[in-house]
Amino acid sequence: MQLTRYTDYGIRILMYLAVQPEREALFRIAEVTKVFDLSSNHVAKIVHQLGRLGYLKTIRGKSGGFKLAIPVKDIQIGLLVRQLEHSLIAVNCEEPFCRFTPVCNLKGVLGKAVAAYLAVLDQYSLADIVNNKAELISTLPDLSISVFDVS
């Protein structure tokens, strides 16, 4: 199973925030857009949804931005994937319609595979996937430079 880009980017955004817990300044969409070379429209949609789901605290306005709303240890990866993915169905038997659908066992097998996939993700929190903070930070642009301080 492959995550959609939407979910992938949502996890990356949370990781980016999680490796900078001491940061006091709010994060900005333009900053995330530059760091990951993503569309600002796409990042805005993801940040909005992460805010609605309670993962981010978002502040509107000129000095607005966003930050993590809950501790990284409380962000469960399996739940996050379930909330961000539109569908976790492994195969669509309806488009185009498959003649085997009424009697096929594949759908059940793939359903078990997706359940196992999610069971593994359920064992991890955001804290677990950013426990190599120094290595993750070393892959980012110099965060001390104010290039990301965009208005």
pLDDT band, residue 143 (cuts 50/70/90): low
Domain spans of the chain, in order of start: 5-146
5-146 CATH fold: Arc Repressor Mutant, subunit A (1.10.10)
pLDDT at 7 exceeding the cut of 50: yes
Going by the DSSP 8-state scheme, the letter that residue 57 receives in this structure is E
101-139 pLDDT per residue, tens? 899 999 899 999 999 999 999 999 999 999 999 999 999
23-61 pLDDT per residue, tens? 999 999 999 999 999 999 999 999 999 999 999 999 998
Q: Which residues contact 108 (CB under 8 A, 6 or more apart)?
A: none
Q: Tell me the pTM.
A: 0.88
Query: b/e for 106-133, b at 16 or more Cβ within 10 A?
Result: ebeeeeeeeeeebeebeeebbeebbeee
